[in-house]
Chains A and B, each alone.
Chain A
Amino acid sequence: EADIYQTPRYLVIGTGKKITLECSQTMGHDKMYWYQQDPGMELHLIHYSYGVNSTEKGDLSSESTVSRIRTEHFPLTLESARPSHTSQYLCASSDRPHEQYFGPGTRLTVT
């Protein structure tokens, strides 16, 4: 069983607010990822990290930012939320090529 956690699970927030989505894993994995999942289910990689102090943008451009100060923690921040940011955000981690372990996701609604 993978030990990767995301909080909050659900968040409804007004336009213009700053938000941080938390992601933590207890497996000691070096690699961590953030995906955005649209209502049509498709997954888009928006950020990834291959280790502490290493972050990269993914295939889909996103206004969010990430940080990786500790191995186990990979938070995602939106400085000013907009309705277009409404989506499900999934965090994942891995310690070897190919296989990723996913958290339960955060469903964000911006009103």
Chain B
Amino acid sequence: EVQLVESGGGLVQPGGSLRLSCAASRVTVSSNHMSWVRQAPGKGLEWVSVIHSGGNTYYADSVKGRFTISRDNSKNTLYLQMNNLRAEDTALYYCVKSGPEPPGYEYWGQGTLVTVSS
């Protein structure tokens, strides 16, 4: 069974930084598209970023220039470096296996909570 386990969330002050990690089992991070999706409390889903199997990266406008997605193939782990955090970044962050086949967000972790507050 595929497992995606996120870690690294927590309470951080506005302007601060956090790095989220997603340890993958039974799925190879480097061979798949991997994404981060977030969900603010009581709100809907918001796509944040994707790293394609070929290494190309893409970001939502709301995080561009502040967040960086990366992966460590040797550790089979996905990362999200989040800098200059804002209150509106407060959310549950999900790591997702997001393709290329099927073309859908097929496997989700349980999420890690990021709270940005002074």
A, B bound: no
Which residues does A use to contact B, with CB under 8 Å?
A: none
